[in-house]
Amino acid sequence: MGSYVPSTPEQQQEMLQALGLNSFRELFSVVPEEMYLEDGALNIPGGMSELEVIRKVSEMAGKNRVFSTVLRGAGAYDHYIPSIVKYIPAKEEFLTAYTPYQAEMSQGILQSIFEYQTMICELTGMDVSNASVYDGATAAAEAAAMCRDRKRRVTLISAAAHPDTIQTVKTYCYGTGDELRIVPAKDGKTDLQALKEMLTPEVASFYVQQPNFYGMIEDAQAIGELVHEAGAMYVMGCNPISLGLLKSPRECGADVAVGEGQPLGMPLSYGGPYLGFMCTTQKHMRKLPGRIVGETVDSKGERAYVLSLQAREQHIRREKASSNICSNQALCALTAGVYMATMGAEGIAQAAKQSMSKAHYLAKELCSIPGVSLKHEGEFFHEFLTLLPKAEEVLKALEQADILGGLPVDDGILWCATEKVSKAQLDKAVAIVKEVLA
C-alpha cells in the first residue's frame, strides 16, 4: 500500500516542521515506549498460494465448536433461518459495497431497503424506519442522542437492559459530555418507583428493554405513561421476534423503537455482522439518524425510490449533527427483509409462540429438580434466570453432551429456548442437569 500514500517523504517532513516537530516519533510521543515496533519487529512471513490459504483457514475454522443444541441467548439467538434467506442476499447484484446515492442507478437496492423499512414499521407499529445502524446497542445510543435538546440532556436507562447496551449508551454520553443515569431494577424488572423519582425536568429520555436482559416482560405501557407525564421521550428496545406476540412499541406509547435485528434471519456467526433497527413516529422523523428511503414517482409517473430528507446517511455539518452514523448495514437489512417476507406475520408469530412455550416448558422441568428455582417470578418470553447449584459442573456436563447451556449471570444461569430446539433436546438437557445434581 506504500505506493498509494499521497505525500512524499519531503512533504511529510515539511508537515512535521509546520507542527514544530522533527520526527514521527515526536508526533506519537504519547504512545508508551514499550509499544513501539522497530524495523522488522513484525516478522511477517511470506505470502501463501490460494490453496495454502484455504488449508490454513480451514484448519483455523476447525477449532470452532458448533453445538447441536443451543440453550443460550442473552442478545444473540439461534432461530431457524429458511434457505432462501441465505440465498438471495448472496446474489452478486446485492453483495456489493456500493452506496446507492445515485437513485437512477440503484432502484433495486433502494426498493429492497424501502421494503425492509416498511416491514419494520409494520412489526413495531411505528410510522418511519431508517435503513438500519450497526447493531442494537448502537441503535439505543443513537436513539438517546436524538431525544436530547438544549434543556434536556440527561438520559435514563433501566439497569435490567443488556449490559453491553448500557455500556454503549454510556460511551456515547461520554463522547458528547452528557449524563447517563441508571434506573435500578427490582425483582428482575425496572423499579417503577425509582423511575418516577428519577424523572426530573432535565431528563430527555428513558430506555427500557422489552423483554429485558433477564427475559422478564416489563410493564411497558405503565412505564410509557410515567415517562410522558414527566415530559420526557420514551425509547423501547425490542426483540423483533417477541413482537409476534407482545404489544407493539406503538401500543405501549413509545416515541422511538430500536432493537437488535439479528433474530431476523442472521446466523450467530461468532458475533456479527448484525443489524440495529430504528423507527419512530412521524412527529420525530426528522431527528432520525441514518438513511431513509422513500417512494415517489419519476417524470413518466412511474413508481421510483429515492433517499429522503437527506442525501447521505451522515450529517455533513458535524457541529450541528445529532448523530455520527456514517454507514448502514444494507446487506443485513436486506437479509432481515427477506426473512420477514418469507416468514410473514403468521410465521413470525409462530416462531414467537414456539419459543415462548418451549422456554416455559424448560423452566418448568428444570424447576421440578430439587435445588433449582426461578430467581425472579413473573412473566417471561423465551429467557429466564434460575438459581442452580453446581452450575459450573452442570454446564460442563451439558457441553460434553453437545449442548450449550445457559449463561452465568448474577449468581444464576440465564436460559433461552427458541423454536429451533425440540422437546427431545430439552428433555435430554433436563436429564443431564438432574443427573449432575443427584
Structural domains of the chain ordered from first start: 69-79+345-437 (3.90.1150.10), 83-339 (3.40.640.10)
Chain mean pLDDT for the chain: 92
User: What is the model's pLDDT at position 5?
Assistant: 67
Q: How far apart are CA 375 and CA 348, in angstroms?
A: 29
User: What is the model's pLDDT at position 279?
Assistant: 96
- Amino acid letter, residue 165: T
Convert the pLDDT of each residue in 16-46 to its tens digit: 999 999 998 899 999 998 888 877 677 788 8
Q: What is the pTM of this model?
A: 0.87
Convert the pLDDT of each residue in 147-203 to its tens digit: 998 899 999 999 999 999 999 999 999 988 999 999 999 999 999 999 999 999 999
| Stretch 421-437: mean pLDDT | 97
User: What is the model's pLDDT at position 93?
Assistant: 80
Convert the pLDDT of each residue in 354-394 to its tens digit: 999 999 999 999 999 999 999 999 999 999 999 999 999 99
Q: How far apart are CA 370 and CA 190, in angstroms?
A: 29
Closest CA to 210 of 173, 188, 238, 184: 238
Residue corresponding to grid cell 430439552: 426
Asked whether residue 290 carries a pLDDT value surpassing 60, the answer given is yes
User: What is the model's pLDDT at position 98?
Assistant: 63
| Stretch 259-268: mean pLDDT | 95
Give the pLDDT band (50/70/90) at residue 236: very high
* Residues contacting 260, CB < 8 A, separation 6+: 75, 76, 135, 136, 137, 139, 239, 240, 274, 275, 276, 277
Convert the pLDDT of each residue in 293-350 to its tens digit: 999 998 899 999 988 887 665 566 666 667 777 667 788 999 999 999 999 999 999 9
Q: What is the largest CA-CA distance in the chain?
A: 76
Neighbours of 420 (CB within 10 A): 17
Give the pLDDT band (50/70/90) at residue 1: very low
Q: Is the distance from CB of 206 to CB of 223 less than 8 angstroms? A: yes
Phi, psi of 423 (to 5 degrees): -60, -40
CA angle 162, 177, 249 (to 5 degrees): 40
| Stretch 92-111: mean pLDDT | 77
Convert the pLDDT of each residue in 71-100 to its tens digit: 999 999 999 999 999 999 998 888 865 666
146 SS3 class: helix
Tell me the residue length of the chain. Answer: 438
Q: How far apart are CA 100 and CA 386, in angstroms?
A: 48
User: What is the model's pLDDT at position 45?
Assistant: 83
User: What is the model's pLDDT at position 103?
Assistant: 73
Percent of the chain topping pLDDT 90: 75
Least confident among 38-47, 238-247, 273-282, 380-389:
38-47
